[in-house]
């Protein structure tokens, strides 16, 4: 069986690459050992956002009196929450399967290996047996696995993973979350809404390392006011099982003092690490490190004809980046005369916390370190009409611009619908727009994007709807 492209992995990198390649006329096969759609659709982005939505609805009902709506006798039907999550996942997985079918992408369910360049061998699931696929190009899109703390394996077995947290039968009464990155904070907000007592513990002094420091500093007290305890400067030593079935996390503070945290459940949510899918990278001569497979600006590995995309590369653990890399690779394969390099200058970083947080482009710190003479403007949602009407006034829009020219270098948002609003900033960064381009563009009223417009006005002078401090 001969193909133009064989993709190993069907996550948002692999399946998008396969579909785009087929659209361009390639004969394509996908090899998937587990679930079509990969971690994103089955155990990551999609199921967590389904839970986020249920948590939002539940919170809205709890606060409905503030809006003149009295609701009595309501309760959380957690079984239905999980059932809906599964329905959402299945609908989207089925959608990917239909995309494969409609585009003529062949799917082989089994574990893929690469005995030599130009050949992919598939050990088929269930029925057994093997298929040998000959191909001109191979794309490795095997994704990532869970990052784990440096504690004994027996201790780790006393905790649960983010996969497990998507399958709880009921919300835990209390939970210690090890990790204050995107994954840990999202789960903290979800389960706090469902009534779980939450302790977040992490080593570094700030949460959410991908976003601008100021957003992190502003979000921490907001979460604390909600009742989510954020504990920083904590170094995990181990996890113990107590006689009553609860768990104790034993740790040291940064100054060497021993502390402990007890809860019904301990969730390890420290992020992701590359998963090489059992491929013999050494035998193939593919350069890699624990950080991921090494690729050039065209996602080409050290072996001609073999590419790598997505989490396995270890640059960004983000589904849209994997998709963009996949599209780039197949377009370069199919149109080599128009080959283009991968551009990471405009990658939105989104956190579905409560409130949401999002960043794109350079942070204030990065811009200063890069030598820019910058201007920074901020506009609070408390002065935005739509946010006030929504009753969601926490947070702000922050614009970082090059002082002499006004060109927008980065945008950072904490507040309602930040993960949607950030794309106005992403477009500005991508196109090299100036603050005045955004400020002088008429924005509909009353809308949340007006906060972006006002922050852009601040680069040129002063936001219109913000009183000057005398």
Active site residues: 445
Which phi and psi angles does 240 have, rounded to 5°?
-120, 150
* CB hemisphere CA count around 443 (13 angstroms): 22
* Tokens read off for 59: 């919170």
Report how far residue 105's alpha carbon sits from residue 456's, in angstroms, rounded to the nearest whole number. Answer: 46
Is the peptide bond between 453 and the residue preceding it cis, with omega within 30 degrees of 0? no
Report how far residue 50's alpha carbon sits from residue 38's, in angstroms, rounded to the nearest whole number. Answer: 17
Strands 349-351, 356-361: parallel, antiparallel or unpaired by DSSP? Answer: antiparallel
Dihedral angle over CA of 17, 22, 23, 25, nearest 10: 130
Contacts of 454 (CB under 8 A, 6+ apart): 379, 383, 384, 397, 463, 464, 465, 466
Burial of 334 (0-12, 13-18, 19+ CB in 10 A): middle
Report how far residue 164's alpha carbon sits from residue 198's, in angstroms, rounded to the nearest whole number. Answer: 17
Sheet strands (E) in 337-439: 349-351, 356-361, 374-380, 396-402, 408-415
* Tokens read off for 306: 């073999």
Q: With beta carbons less than 8 A apart as the criterion, state whether 231 and 207 touch.
A: no
| Residue that the structure tokens 């999550």 belong to | 85
Report how far residue 466's alpha carbon sits from residue 384's, in angstroms, rounded to the nearest whole number. Answer: 9
Burial of 407 (0-12, 13-18, 19+ CB in 10 A): middle
Distances (CA, A) of 331 to 29, 262, 389: 16, 52, 46
């Amino acid at each position: 069986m001969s193909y133009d492209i064989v993709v190993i992995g069907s996550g948002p990198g692999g399946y998008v690459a396969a579909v785009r390649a087929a659209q361009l006329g390639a004969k394509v096969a996908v090899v998937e050992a587990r679930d079509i759609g990969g971690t994103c659709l089955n155990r990551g982005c999609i199921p967590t956002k389904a839970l986020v939505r249920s948590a939002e609805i539940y919170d809205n009902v709890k606060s409905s009196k503030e809006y003149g709506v009295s609701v009595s006798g309501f309760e959380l039907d957690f079984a239905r929450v999980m059932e809906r999550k599964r329905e959402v996942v299945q609908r989207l997985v089925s959608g990917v399967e239909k995309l494969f079918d409609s585009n003529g992408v062949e799917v082989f369910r089994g574990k893929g290996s690469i005995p030599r360049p130009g050949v992919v061998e598939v050990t088929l699931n269930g029925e057994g047996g093997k298929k040998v696929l000959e191909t001109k190009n191979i794309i490795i899109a095997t994704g990532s696995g869970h990052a784990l703390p440096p504690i004994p394996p027996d201790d780790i077995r006393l905790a649960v993973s983010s996969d497990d947290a998507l399958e709880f039968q009921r919300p835990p009464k209390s939970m210690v979350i090890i990790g204050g990155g995107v994954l840990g904070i999202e789960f903290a907000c979800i389960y706090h809404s469902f009534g779980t007592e939450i302790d977040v513990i992490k080593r570094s002094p700030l949460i959410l390392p991908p976003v601008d420091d100021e957003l992190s500093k502003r979000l921490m007290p907001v979460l604390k006011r909600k009742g989510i305890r954020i504990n920083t400067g904590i170094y995990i030593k181990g996890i113990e099982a107590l006689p009553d079935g609860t768990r104790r996390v034993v740790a040291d503070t940064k100054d060497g003092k021993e502390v402990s945290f007890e809860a019904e459940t301990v969730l390890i949510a420290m992020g992701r690490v590359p998963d090489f899918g059992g491929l013999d990278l050494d035998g193939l001569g593919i350069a890699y490190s624990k950080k991921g497979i090494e690729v050039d600006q065209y996602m080409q590995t050290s072996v001609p004809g073999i590419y790598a995309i997505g989490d396995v590369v270890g640059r960004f653990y983000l589904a849209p980046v994997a998709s963009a890399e996949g599209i780039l690779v197949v377009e370069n394969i199919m149109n080599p005369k128009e080959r283009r390099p991968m551009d990471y200058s405009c990658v939105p970083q989104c956190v579905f916390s409560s409130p949401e947080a999002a960043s794109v482009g350079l942070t204030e710190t990065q811009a200063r370190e890069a030598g820019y003479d910058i201007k920074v403007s901020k506009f609070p949602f408390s002065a935005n009409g739509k946010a006030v009407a929504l009753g969601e006034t926490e947070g702000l829009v922050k614009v970082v611009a090059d002082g002499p020219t006004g060109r927008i270098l980065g945008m950072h948002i904490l507040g309602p619908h930040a993960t949607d609003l950030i794309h106005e900033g992403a477009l500005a960064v991508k196109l090299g727009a100036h603050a005045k381009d955004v400020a002088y563009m008429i924005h509909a009223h009353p809308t949340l994007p007006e906060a972006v417009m006002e922050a852009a006005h601040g680069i040129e002078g002063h936001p219109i709807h913000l009183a000057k401090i005398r």
